[in-house]
Amino acid sequence: MGPCPHEKNLFPVKPLAERTDDLRQSDIRAITQMVNAVDGINLGQGICDLPTPLPIKEAAKGAIDDNHAIYSHYAGIQGLREAILRKVQTYNHIPATSPDEIMVSVGSTGAFVSAMFALLEPGDEVILFEPFYGYHRNLLQLVNARLVFVPTQPPDWGIDFDALEAAITPRTKAVIINTPGNPSGKVWSQAELEELLVLLQEYDLYAITDEIYEYMLYDGRTHVSLASLPGAYERTITLSGLSKTYNMTGWRMGYAVAPAPLCEKMGLLNDLFFICAPTPLQHGAAAAFAMDDTYFGELQATYDQRRDLLCSTLGRIGFDVPWPQGAYYTFASFAPLASQRAGFEDARSACETLIQEAGVATVPGHSFFADPTDGRYFLRFCFAKEMPVLEQACAKLLAAFG
Ligand SMILES: Cc1ncc(COP(=O)(O)O)c(C=O)c1O
């Protein structure tokens, strides 16, 4: 056989689709392997090791025993959509009035995929704030959206509305919002959302707003949904889900809220991609919406405590720490250490140094910026860990670098 005509091709047949060319195992998985090799503590991956609440587990087990085993409606079982509707009306103050405005999907990620396919033509411009959540960037690239990045700056990651307006062109179709944000922890204020809405209306743009961390808020902040503002709902797709609030990332339970005609199209796309979210788990998920306010109070207190511990520890070892306003990450800068200590030259080396010297894994900051050099002095730490584990991680950090 002669040489393969496709240099880049790993397979002895025709090349794979071009869209697979840039797909790589994310840094996060490689780092997980590295920290496992030293039997360390993983504060990298954004997963929560706290238990899923019992009523949710019991309801799912009951649904399995009762043979709720067939495909559901593509947009979810009626009871769950009704429960979500009540929740978005009362907690988010979104003016949805019917379950037809709710679509259940395979995580909020499934809902994001359906939202992108419903809104975007290849080449449409989409605005993404930096630092961004990697899946937003990578999925948008997969549908050939043209990404336009608008930077935000620590410590409060405020929005530069002049920069945002300058980024809008006649081809702009949508703006992606993530509040509370991963990795920055930024919580959009009502005033900021109002200012954003003026631009959305003036330039006739959609917003896709990812609110998966909506219950994790600090220092008395409240969560405001863009779709609750007068005039916003018609141009907003709100995404959320149960992964983070109820410690059930592996269940893949998420949803979108949008005006009925848009939600209908997203549901039809959801049908094509996934047919439906797992039926018995939807029955389990419905039980989440019957949990009372004490659950959210405890959740809040739990995360407050964890944020205090991690942020103060990082401050003590010399990091510059913008305390997050929401979500469960600290996106901290080690710039002050870069000139003082070996092993902190850039985010990758700092990440490796923390694993080797303290046995603690993080995510290098370059994963959250279009230009990796913008994230070179940042590491993301996830504090959604059982308290003894987080305490141990902080003790190890202090012992190594304190
Ligand atoms: C901002 C953001 N959105 C969405 C997700 C994933 O949510 P889901 O499990 O509902 O797909 C994550 C998970 O880390 C996230 O950080």
Residue with tokens 């700092």: 350
User: Worst-scoring range by mean pLDDT, 18-32, 67-81, 345-359?
Assistant: 18-32
Is the CB of residue 243 below 6 angstroms from any atom belonging to ligand 1?
A: yes
The continuous run of DSSP H or E covering 363 comes out as strand 363-364
Q: What is the CA radius of gyration of the chain?
A: 22
Is the CB of residue 44 below 6 angstroms from any atom belonging to ligand 1?
A: no
CA dist 138 → 95, 277, 360 (Å): 31, 22, 26
Is a pLDDT exceeding 90 seen at residue 48? Answer: no
Q: What is the pLDDT of residues 322-370, one digit of tens each?
A: 999 999 999 999 999 998 999 999 999 999 999 999 999 999 999 999 9
Rounded-to-integer distance, Cα 325 and Cα 383, Å: 14
Please enumerate in sequence order all residues whose Cβ is within 8 A of that of 210, keeping only pairs 6 or more positions apart, or say none.
Answer: 108, 112, 133, 136, 176, 177, 178, 179, 239, 240
pLDDT band at 3 (very low <50, low <70, confident <90, very high): very low
Atom of ligand 1 nearest to the CA of 47: 14
Could you tell me which of 35, 71, 32 has the C-alpha nearest to residue 271? 71
CB 280, CB 60: distance < 8 Å: yes
CB 118, CB 266: distance < 8 Å: yes
What pLDDT sits at residue 45? 81
Q: What is the pLDDT of residues 117-159, one digit of tens each?
A: 999 999 999 999 999 999 999 999 999 999 999 999 999 999 9
Is a pLDDT exceeding 60 seen at residue 296? Answer: yes
Is a pLDDT exceeding 80 seen at residue 178? Answer: yes
Atom of ligand 1 nearest to the CA of 109: 11
Is a pLDDT exceeding 60 seen at residue 5? Answer: no
What pLDDT sits at residue 156? 94
Is the CB of residue 240 below 6 angstroms from any atom belonging to ligand 1?
A: no
- Site to substitute for ligand 1 among 29, 138, 182, 212, most atoms within 8 A of C-beta: 212
In the chain, % of residues over pLDDT 70: 97
Cα of 212 vs centre of ligand 1, distance in Å, is 6
Is the CB of residue 182 below 6 angstroms from any atom belonging to ligand 1?
A: yes
Cα angle 255-207-231, degrees, rounded to a multiple of 5: 100
Atom of ligand 1 nearest to the CA of 244: 9
Rounded-to-integer distance, Cα 129 and Cα 389, Å: 32
Is the CB of residue 212 below 6 angstroms from any atom belonging to ligand 1?
A: yes
Residues in the chain, total: 402
Tell me the CATH architecture of domain 18-51+294-401. Alpha-Beta Complex (3.90)
Spell out where 140-223 has E strands.
146-151, 172-178, 206-210
Neighbours of 292 (CB within 10 A): 7
Is a pLDDT exceeding 80 seen at residue 245? Answer: yes
**pTM reported for the whole predicted model:** 0.95
Is a pLDDT exceeding 70 seen at residue 7? Answer: no
What pLDDT sits at residue 1? 41
Q: Where are the domains of the chain?
A: 18-51+294-401, 69-288
Is the CB of residue 109 below 6 angstroms from any atom belonging to ligand 1?
A: yes
Strand partners, 127: 148, 175
Is the CB of residue 249 below 6 angstroms from any atom belonging to ligand 1?
A: yes
Could you tell me the sign of the dihedral formed by the alpha carbons of 102, 108, 114, 119, in that order?
Answer: positive
pLDDT band at 26 (very low <50, low <70, confident <90, very high): confident
CB 203, CB 174: distance < 8 Å: no
Is a pLDDT exceeding 50 seen at residue 4? Answer: no
* Fold (CATH) for 69-288: Aspartate Aminotransferase; domain 2 (3.40.640)
Is a pLDDT exceeding 70 seen at residue 108? Answer: yes
Query: Which residue owns the Cα nearest ligand 1 atom 12?
Result: 212
